Structure 1
Amino acid sequence: MSAPTRTLADARAWARTGTELMLDAVAGLDDSAFSAPSTLPHWTRRHLVAHVAANADALGNLVHWAATGEEKPMYASAEERAAGIAKGPTLSGDALRTWLTDSAHRLAAGLDRLTDEQWQHEVVTAQGRTVPATELPWMRAREVCVHAADLGTGAVTFADLPKGFLTALVAEIRAKRGLAGLPEGPLPEVAAWLAGRPHALADAPALDPWL
């Protein structure tokens, strides 16, 4: 089965929607709620929010690369990426919210400034993949949409994510996991299962978290 067509406009819209969901989900959290566990093993919501904020800064490096031609990797090292996540528990809830908001706005502004030519410039992801800058909004959409659900506040679940996003996500993870078939069930539940997240599918084998 071929993957559905995913356009740049689609990915940019999903990134905006995911960002709004993420920001809305943390808007009312106090310090105690930020310290509560997320749905990801061993991560509090502080770790998760710090990761999403640091991801925006890292993708901003690739936007700079695409815009200027100056090579600027997402992270200088694996240690730098880990340090961004570890920074979460050291910050207040207000500081985390500000970092999340400001980094998201900086990334969106940088993407808005890319020209048609710059969108085609190639950059290298943290996993070492060489991709055109047109992949950056999709990379961000995955982060904000999936991790908004991972916060575990109840405000966002996979059922709240755009259908087109879920369809594209299922196609991508299915291909990466090399699965020939999928269990029967609602699209949001299938997507959550494929991503290794909590789901309501009966008799579906356990999968490790993806992303």
Structure 2
Amino acid sequence: MTAPAPEVLLAGLHKAADDVASDVAKLTDEDVTAPSALPGWTRGHVLAHLAGISNAMARQLEYAARGESIELYDGGMDGRNRAIDRAAGHNAATHLADVTAALHRVMHAFDALPGIKDSSANRTGWYAPITYRGGVVLDGGLALWRELVIHNSDLLTGRGPETWSRQFCGHLFDFLAARVQPDDKLVLQPLGFPPLSIGSGTRSTVVSGMITDIAAWLAGREPTLGSLRASAAADGVDLPALLPWPAGTPAPQ
């Protein structure tokens, strides 16, 4: 499994944005004050973060289109956290307006990118440099995809990890290979799909189960289908400990 091509990613971003907008529209004032799947965060905190990361990524693309760069969040991570705390207590209508406006802004920025084949050679479009992770627009698109899909599951509105697509799970396997301990090698055996290995250590553990359960575990989320199993030398073992979210970007915490 490999990271999706830009045209596939764009389709995935549109679906993720549409799913978030649809689910947020169903929330009531009481709903947004209820706990999310994230310890210490209400749904309102998650919604404030979704609006914040969407606007932040939009401005990465807007500046990149002018050949300029800007930090991801005004005031860095402290600014990000303050903005979330300020907006978390908004009512459902305000959250809906903020999230849908931010999604519209960021999806407009991605839709406005020039042709994929034309941009790879001259560092424009999908390959224009951005500040996020010292990468390019494509990296920002993958990050936004992760944020929208994972945090939508954190809202506990019925769109949990069991709904994640094969392509999205495959991307997480690639991206989250950085969480494997240096001494470990994980042999992932998603049911119905070819096995693959992540990590380069000598301590081998087989992790089997539904593809969405494996992806959820790697992402620090609760597997929802109860299929996850770990084994070493044919014996059942505990799931191995993972490293923190890859350096250079905050985890969808």
Query: One fold, TM greater than 0.5?
Result: yes
For residues 144 and 14 of structure 1, the distance between their equivalents in structure 2, rounded to whole angstroms, comes to 10
Which protein, 1 or 2, shows the higher relative CO under an 8 Å CA cutoff with sep ≥ 6?
Answer: 1
Once the two structures are TM-superposed, the CA of residue 114 in structure 1 deviates from its matched residue by 2.2
For residues 82 and 10 of structure 1, the distance between their equivalents in structure 2, rounded to whole angstroms, comes to 31
- Asked if the contact 1:66/1:119 (under 8 Å) is kept, the reply is no
Once the two structures are TM-superposed, the CA of residue 148 in structure 1 deviates from its matched residue by 0.8
Once the two structures are TM-superposed, the CA of residue 205 in structure 1 deviates from its matched residue by 4.7
Question: Greater CA deviation, 11-20 or 112-121?
Answer: 112-121
**Alignment partner of 1:13: what SS?**
helix
More helix as a share of residues: 1
**Counterpart selection for 1:134 from 138, 143, 150:** 138
Task: With the length of structure 1 as denominator, give the TM-score of the two structures.
Answer: 0.89
**Counterpart selection for 1:166 from 157, 169, 178:** 169
**Alignment partner of 2:209: what SS?**
coil
Q: What does the per-residue CA deviation read over 1:52-81, in whole Å, with 9 as the maximum and x for residues that have no partner?
A: 110011001111121012222211222211
Q: Is the alpha carbon distance of 1:24 and 1:206 closer, same or farther for their aligned partners in structure 2, counting shifts above 3 Å?
A: farther
For residues 149 and 141 of structure 2, the distance between their equivalents in structure 1, rounded to whole angstroms, comes to 12
RMSD between aligned alpha carbons?
A: 1.9
- Asked if the contact 1:47/1:87 (under 8 Å) is kept, the reply is no
Q: Is the alpha carbon distance of 1:42 and 1:206 closer, same or farther for their aligned partners in structure 2, counting shifts above 3 Å?
A: farther
**Aligned letter for 2:216?**
A
Identity of aligned residues (%): 27
- Asked if the contact 1:53/1:99 (under 8 Å) is kept, the reply is yes
Hey, what does 1:151 align to over in structure 2? 155
Residue 204, structure 1, aligned to residue 239, structure 2? yes
Number of matched residues? 205
Hey, what does 1:91 align to over in structure 2? 90
Question: Greater CA deviation, 187-196 or 162-171?
Answer: 162-171
Q: Is the alpha carbon distance of 1:25 and 1:205 closer, same or farther for their aligned partners in structure 2, counting shifts above 3 Å?
A: farther
